[in-house]
Amino acid sequence: MTVQLIPDPLPDDVRWGFTRDGLLNIRHHFHWIAVTKGFARSNLAKHWPGLVWNDLMHALNAAKVWKSDPSHFSGKDLKPQVKEFHILHDGTFRVIRFTDDAPIPAPDPQPIGGGFTVELRPELLNTSEGRRNLARLILEGLRPRKNPD
């Protein structure tokens, strides 16, 4: 399955365009590690050259494309009505919404990101062997999981 981050074709007045998947890709980079380590900027430069992270965040917040989602680490989810988001050459933005009769796409069964849980028991912290086991559990959770074909 190919994920399309940028709508095709884009109207002539659009400088940068985002599909739903493109916006979810941006949300994936909301994490403080991605922002402070430069991953968010490099992702933006790869897919939307010339766009500045802070300008994008300002436009997305002004457009109110997000809703609250406590289950995601960012605390945000894309509103289901949002189909595309465009930043125009004059610096304004446009939100393309699904019509009432258009089907809203189902959420991706394999969303980008995620998390894991490690049960922290007191005995894991009391000995060096326990701390090694805790470190092993954390590293196992951080390893990327292979996606099914």
Residue 68 belongs to domain spanning: 14-97
On whether the CB atoms of residues 73 and 115 are closer than 8 A, the answer is yes
Is the residue at 124 inside a domain?
yes
pLDDT at res. 25: 92
Report pLDDT for 149: 45
- State residue 48's pLDDT score: 94
When divided into structural domains, the chain yields a total of 2
CA distance 96 to 125: 52
- For residue 132, the tally of other CB atoms under 10 A from its CB is 11
Shared-domain flag, residues 28 and 77: yes
Give yes or no: residues 76 and 128 share one domain: no
pLDDT for position 107: 56
Has residue 29 been placed in a domain? yes
Residues 82 and 48 in one domain: yes
Q: What is the pLDDT of residue 17?
A: 94
pLDDT at residue 126, rounded to an integer: 76
Q: Please indicate, yes or no, whether residues 19 and 60 belong to a single structural domain of this protein.
A: yes
Q: At what angle do helices 20-28 and 39-47 cross, to 10 degrees?
A: 160
* Rounded-to-integer distance, Cα 71 and Cα 139, Å: 22
Residue 109 domain flag: no
List the one residue out of 64, 79, 61 whose CA is nearest residue 20: 79
Q: Please list the pLDDT of the chain residue by residue as tens digits (149 residues).
A: 678 899 988 889 999 999 999 999 999 998 888 888 989 999 999 999 999 999 999 999 999 999 998 888 888 999 999 999 999 998 898 999 887 666 666 655 544 444 556 666 666 677 778 777 777 777 776 555 554 44
pLDDT at 100: 66
pLDDT of residue 27: 93
Q: Is residue 108 in a domain?
A: no
Exposure string over 99-111, b if 16+ CB within 10 A, otherwise e: eeeeeeeeeeeee
pLDDT tens column, 105-128: 665 554 444 455 666 666 667 777
